[in-house]
Chain A
Amino acid sequence: MTPAIVEARRVSRVFPMAAAPVTALNDVSLRVDRGEYIGVVGPSGCGKSTLLHVLGCVDVATSGQVLFQDREVGSLTDAERSRLRLREIGFVFQRFFLLPMLTAWENVELPQAEAGASRGERRTRTAELLEYVGLAQRAGHRPSELSGGEMQRVAIARALANRPGLLLADEPTGELDQATGEQIVQLLDRLHADGTAVVVVTHDPAVAARAHRLLRMRDGRIVDESRQ
């Protein structure tokens, strides 16, 4: 059996609150293999985003184990987790979170520069990625000059900058109209077809329908899993 990209073993995440602790994830186990396309659906507050954050090493489980390529994430330092995210994981957010003072080109180039890619490598890769998401002509534009769909495509290009094996998308079409959302979904399909494992959290049935494996969550648990 090939090693999983990321595996959660009996993971719980509890947020301490003034009134009472909130259990966002409750004894969740999940394995994400290379090249998989997983959709996560469920009502608001059921723990979808928290699961994504734990799998993406931006949050640490209260209990249980998360193994990223067989490395125990809980034992990594903050700097090691940052390096892991930089090189192995791509994030796409509902609100894009592009840097407004940077152009599309610079936003895509940023993670590569952080990873130490040479100027030449960055130039080639950034051009390639903007071409891939269909925004080569908008490379010099800043986020404020782009539409929502274009911003999300730049965000996807940024997420792919360092050739991650895993792309995590949190409501990637949440801020977009249906037609634009469809473009993003097609882009995710292409990414998956090109070999990237994709985990997408969504409320949108059309997006969920594209996943090969669909997880339904409720009250911090995976209550149903189906292959499509």
Chain B
Amino acid sequence: MNIYVGRPQIAAAKLQHHVIYVSDLKRSKDFYMKLFDLQFSALNHPDSSAAMRLSNQEMHFFSFGFYHHDLCLVKHHKLKMDNNSMLHFTLVARDGAAFDGIRARTATMGIPVREGRLIASAKTLPGQRAFCLQDPDRHWIEIIEEPRQ
């Protein structure tokens, strides 16, 4: 008997982590760690993980500093990644200083940026700042500073 049936639906509370394909793990790992200070939290490899062996993939896990992983980079060892199933993802800066710091790092790292939100119909809250950039695999990343409540 399913004890959960008939109870209120357990729904999604929030977007928690995202796992993107990359073509060069080292290049992307350097990029994300240098630009955002992401913390490398685990490595699952076909020589260490049965699931990765069965799926021909290698996954590098990164934490924003609270959860075990928030963003993961995956290399598929047989298939080629592309940019045709995701338009963008947004990373919310820890605070205003972090937003400014990331922006300054893009300049030092020679990363071109685009001002404002990526999608014209996306909400822009009063006082919110945003800019966009592309990672080494041309995934679009939007950086925003959420106004304090």
Co-assembled chains A and B = no
Binding site for B on A (CB under 8 A): none
Binding site for A on B (CB under 8 A): none
